[in-house]
Structures are given as C-alpha cells and as structure tokens.
Chain A
Amino acid sequence: MSHDTDKTRSEPQRRQILKGAAAVLASGMFPAIHAQEKITLRYLGTAVNQDKTIAEKFEADTGIKIQYVAVTTDEVTKRAITAPNSFDLIDTEYFSLKKIIPTGNLLGIDSRRIKNADKITSLFTQGTVAGKAVGDQGTAPKKVMYLEKPESKKFASAPTPFMTLIPTVYNADTLGIRPDLIKRPINSWAELLNPEFKGKAAILNIPSIGIMDAAMVVEDLGLYKYPDKGNMTKAEIDLTIRTLVEAKKAGQFRALWKDFNESVNLMASGEVVIQSMWSPAVTAVRTKGIACNFQPLKEGYRAWAAGFGLPKTLSGRKLDGAYEFINWFLDGWAGAYLNRQGYYSAVLDTAKAKMDAYEWAYWMEGKPAAKDIKNPTGDVLAKAGSVRDGGSYEQRMGSIACWNAVMDENEYMVRKWNEFVAA
C-alpha cells in the first residue's frame, strides 16, 4: 500500500525533473555550467599598471577573469619571494629580478608560446634603440632578460628561448619642474642641488632609486664619474650620501616623497619647484591646469621597466590562461591603452595598429598634436599643437643613462640612506 502511494507520488516528480532538465538544456544554460569553471588569474602588481578597463576588455575577449592584487613595488618583490603561491601572474620591475630569480620562484617564460615574442622592442632584447646602444648602468633589462633553462636560478648571458619577464610598460624618468615658477631653462641634473632652489627641491625617498638620481647630480657637478651608478662601491655610496647630507643640512630639500600622490601635491601646491618625478605624476599635475614639465636633461634619463612573470607553481589551465593573457596583452589593444597614458608598450607595431595616426604621431614620433590629445578616460591632456616632453620614442629612450637597480651593497646603501634621512 504505502509502496504504491510512494510510487504514484514519485513518478510525477521524476517527470518534472526531466522536464526541467530538458528546459535548462534547451534554454542554452548548459554553457553557463561550463562558464562556472572558467579560470580566474590572480594578478599581483602595483596599482599603477592594474587598470580596470584592461581586465574588463580581456574578460570580454577571452572569458578569463583577472583578479587584481594591488600592492607597492617593494611588496610585490616581498610576496614573490615569501609567498609565491599567492598569485598566478606577477607584474614586477626588472631590477627586482636580482632578488627573485635566485629563489627559484619564477618559471622561465617559453617564448615559443608567445606569438609576438620576436617583435618585443630591441631595448629589452639587445639594449638598443633604433640600432644605437643605450646606457646599461644598473639593472638593464637585457642583463636579466633570459634564463638558461625554465627552472634556472641564474641569468643567461646570451638570448635563450626562456624569458624571465615579458615587458608590460617602461619609461624613462627625469626631473619634473614648474616652468612658471622657475622662469628659466633647466637642462641638467645638477639643478636639483642648485642653491637657487633652496627649500624648493624634493627627492624621491625610495633609497635604491633616490640614490641614482643623486648620482646623476654628483656626476653632473663633476664630483665623480661612476663606473656603474646602479652598483656602487661603499666608498661611492659614502660620497653620494655625503653630497645629499650636505645639501639637506643647507636646507635644499623642502620634502622627500615616496608616494606618487605626494609628489603631485608637492608640485601642484608650489611647495616644490624641482624634484625627481614620474611621468604619470607630471600628467596629474597638468590635468589640474598647472604648468609642469617632465624636463629632458642633457645627461639623460633613469629608465625603468616592468614585466609579467609566471610563478613556478602554475600549471594546467591556469598556466595556459596566463600565456593567453600575455599574448593578448602584446596584441595591441593594451599597448595602445598604455601608450595613451604616456608609458611605452613592449611591442610597438601591434599598438600602432590600434592607435589613431595623430595619437601615434604625438606620443611616439614627437610631432605636434594635430588634435587635442585625450587620456583613456577622455580628459584632455594636451591641446592641439603641443609637443610631448622629451620628443619621440627614439629621442627619449635613446637617451637612457642608467636603469633602476638593486646594488650588491644594498644593505649598506639602505643604512646610509637612513643616515641621510636622519641628518
């Protein structure tokens, strides 16, 4: 009896379920079940490069989700070394590689799986711009670009198929100035310590970078010629720090800055008229309607570069997804997006294809803007007729004097830098 009633009750249920399943299939929800398994890549890097628009565009193009993990430059290195399982893709600066690669936490990227690998600018692969060698003091990318084997903990001296990082963005830094308050041409690094700007100068308080800016000044003042500004001896560090301490005691510096926004505030408020600066910070001051130049100097620029690396723990679909992302990134859309922000992209040809001719002429060829130049969000950065500071790509990147670096005497350098701050 009871068995019968059960059967009559369960039968319609079973039919309903079947019907429901058929409806789900018919309505095309089956792919949705598939999509739930779609991968998410945890992208570790600094906020500067982690643009929401890029992640959205990539997801729309490929269905792979990007989850940004935004930390400071130092923290990126720290996590790569101490927590290599906490990310699927790392965007780090080339100079950090001297710390990260010996830990074996990164896997050499197989350039045969990167479609545009051979189109990556020669600045990275050979250290040349338009056939001319540029300065390679410090951690020049070409010195740390290749590994002998994918699992190697040592850099290869000649190109191999295994790349440490695939470049994302790079640029060359110089001094930022307020032309309206200085009222005369500035053309050398020595001006940073010129007593004329006493109490109105600022320097970067990130020891490894700040000391290189200081070294540019020291060389320019004729005090000393460094064999390698990016790798000083103890005596050279002493000399450089002494110059800084003397300037500080004489009241040269209004402030030191560490954060992008601090440098913008110092400059925009007029507290400082000359300081070491980053290109997007200059842009930020300008969008406030305040005159600010990213001043080309006769001694050249201090360059930096960042790139994608893969952690050794990555495998399977996530590894494939990471390769897909890198390939997509070099394919032009992202490059064009970054070029419009004043950075440079790794593969120039593909980016050029995605930019308007007048944009390319302004950003890359150093020509006067034919129309108003807008940033990716639509704000006007430069009026028609203006010319980009530093001129064309060849002019700017061709004038690189040195690269951001980690020194062998890093510990001593940091200690001496603390001495400068305390002086």
Chain B
Amino acid sequence: MSTAASVSPRSDPGIHPWWQALPFAAVFLAFFVIPLGLVLMVSFWDFNEYELLPAFTWRNYVSMWEGCGRLNEYGDFCVTLSTYLSTLKFALLSWALTLVLGFALAYFLAFHVHSVGMQTLLFVLCTVPFWTSNVIRMIAWVPLLGRNGLLNQGLEATGLIRQPLEWLLFSDFSVLLAYVHLYTMFMIVPIFNSMMRIDRSLLEAARDAGASAWQTLWNVIVPLSRTGILIGSIFIITIVMGDFVTVGVMGGQQIASIGKMIQVQTSYLQFPLAAANAVVLLLTVLMIVWGLTRVVDIRKEL
C-alpha cells in the first residue's frame, strides 16, 4: 500500500506539468505554428496582380522548378537551382571558416586564458563587431575594400599590385568575409560553453597516459565539444541560408540568394510564390539540421 502511494505521484504527475507548459506552448502555437500553417496554406493558393485567390494548386511549386530539367541557353542551371546552389555554397564555406576560427578562439579562451576576469574581457572584445548596427557595419567595408579603398591604396603604394583588386568588394569574397566577421561569435559562444564544462582532470589523464597535444585535442577536446560545435553549426547554417541583407550589400546585389528571391516576390505581391519558396527553403534547412543531429544526439549530450 505504502509503496503504491509513494510511487503514484511520480507515475501520474496529474495536470500540473501541463499547466506549466501551457504559456510557452501558447506562445509557440500563436507565433510559430499558426503562421507557419498559414504560409503552407498560402503556398497552394493562386494569385493575380492584386489579390490572393484561395484555391489548391501546385502552380507555385511547379513554376519554381520550371526549366530545371536542363541547362539554360548560357549553360547554367535554372534560376531556382542555381540560387539554392549559390546559397548552399555560402552556407558551407562560412560554416567551415567560422568553425575553424570559432573553435580556435574558443580553445584559446577556455584553455589558455586562466583568469575569469581576462576571459570576460576578451569575450567582450569578441562582441565588438556587434556594437554598431548591422547595415553600418557592412557599409563600412566599402571604403576599406573598394576600388579606391584603403587596402587597394596600401597595396598599390607598396608596389605589390599595379591595378586595384576588383574582387575585394561586391564579390563572393566580400560576402564571405562579412559572414565570417558577423557570425563567428555564434560559433565561439556555444563551443566555449562546452569546453568550459570539460573536466580538466581528463586533460591531465591524457597527458599522463602519454598523449601528445594534438592527440588530446582530437581525441578528448573535440569529441567533448561536439554539442557546442553542433549548436554553432545550426546557428550559422540557418542564418546564412535565410540571409538576404548581407549578401545584398556585400555582393552588390549581384549575387542571388533564396532570401532575396523571396523578398522580391513579396514586394511584387506574389505571396503564394514566396510562400512556396519559403516552404522549400524551410524543408531544406530542416533536412540539414536533421542530418546534423544524426551525427550528434543533442538531447543525450546536453
């Protein structure tokens, strides 16, 4: 009897946890699930110049992929495919660069800076790029990287180059530079957080067992930081996949991105087309995130 009584509160917690979950669930429902449902619904609607026509049509999804079965007259992929490839390319490159940079910086902060005060100070230094507005930060690259910018003038003065380097600005390079500059912080923070939770005695044990510094890094630190790496990766990939502001400003609006495509469509009131695009983008990002969580079981690790 008495055991049954003591077990029952645990096996049947009653209604209380549901109440506790309710506020957040309500927010989630109102601001995420319902809007997403609407986007999904509208993506199947028809439209004309000035109104949305409730219907069920695959037209938006079909027109997105029109002409994608073959290369076009210039030997390129169709617009949707080449836009996705371009965005994926940026996501992959900026992910790799921010990972290497973020990991190195987090490693330095976690293992080579010993005082908490110093760690805090250096952390604050890492946030310097965020002290000005996003747009100003990006526009500030122009006088630095431009044709008559500081860098080109400096290089010309040293005689290293005769003609200004054109690829410094409004190019893949400048877009990538801005991404790395802006988003490395999103990699540093979660990796640093994981690293700080590594038991220092494990490192001692590795050293005692005769592991070299590289072996300790690769076999102890990297595996134990993987949740941080994963969370950082999810941040970077989702941000870059959806971005249209940075790629617009730094790419001179000449580099296609999915976000930009969606933005152009909404501004021309082609909401169903934009919604269809958004759904495909969401699925793509979800697939990537799902793939990443297959590699690291984030629930088990946290």
Query: Footprint of B on A, CB under 8 Å?
Result: 72, 74-75, 77-78, 81, 98-100, 102-103, 199, 202, 205, 207-208, 242, 245, 248-249, 253-258, 262, 265, 269-271, 406, 410-411, 414-415, 417-419, 421-423
Contact = CB atoms under 8 A, between A and B. Distances in A.
Contacts of A422: 76, 79, 82-83, 86, 256
Interface stretch (B88-96, B140-148, B193-201): B140-148
B39 to A, nearest CB: 16
Given A411-B268, A422-B256, 6 more contacts: A74-B268, A245-B74, A248-B254, A255-B170, A256-B254, A418-B256
Contacts of B51: 81, 103
Interface string B129-148: 00000000001001100111
A46 to B, nearest CB: 13
Nearest to B253: A256
B272 to A, nearest CB: 10
B170 A254 contact: yes
Contacts of A265: 139, 142
A249 B254 contact: no
A423 B170 contact: no
A100 B50 contact: yes
Contacts of A205: 253
A133 to B, nearest CB: 28
A374 to B, nearest CB: 28
B43 interface: no
Contact of B267 (A75, A98, A249): A75
B169 interface: yes
Contact of B268 (A248, A256, A262, A414): A414
- Report, nearest first, the 8 A-B pairs whose CB atoms are least far apart: A255-B252, A422-B256, A74-B267, A256-B253, A419-B79, A99-B50, A205-B253, A422-B79
B294 to A, nearest CB: 31
A72 B83 CA distance: 25
Given A81-B51, A415-B79, A422-B256, A258 B248 contact: yes
B175 to A, nearest CB: 12
Nearest to B50: A99
Contacts of A257: 253
A199 B148 contact: no
B184 interface: no
A418 B50 contact: no
A254 B170 CA distance: 7
A418 B142 contact: no
Interface in B253-276: 253-256, 260-261, 264-270, 273
A33 B82 CA distance: 64
21 contacts: A74-B267, A77-B269, A98-B49, A99-B50, A102-B49, A103-B50, A202-B252, A207-B268, A254-B252, A257-B253, A262-B253, A269-B143, A269-B148, A271-B142, A271-B146, A271-B147, A410-B49, A418-B264, A419-B72, A419-B79, A421-B260
B261 A418 contact: yes
Contacts of B49: 98-99, 102, 406, 410
Contact of A418 (B79, B139, B148, B269): B79
Contacts of A406: 49
A421 B264 CA distance: 11
B79 to A, nearest CB: 4
Given A199-B166, A255-B253, A258-B253, A78 B269 contact: yes
Contacts of A81: 50-51, 269
B301 interface: no
B83 to A, nearest CB: 5
A88 to B, nearest CB: 21
B252 A256 contact: yes
A199 B270 CA distance: 32
A245 to B, nearest CB: 6
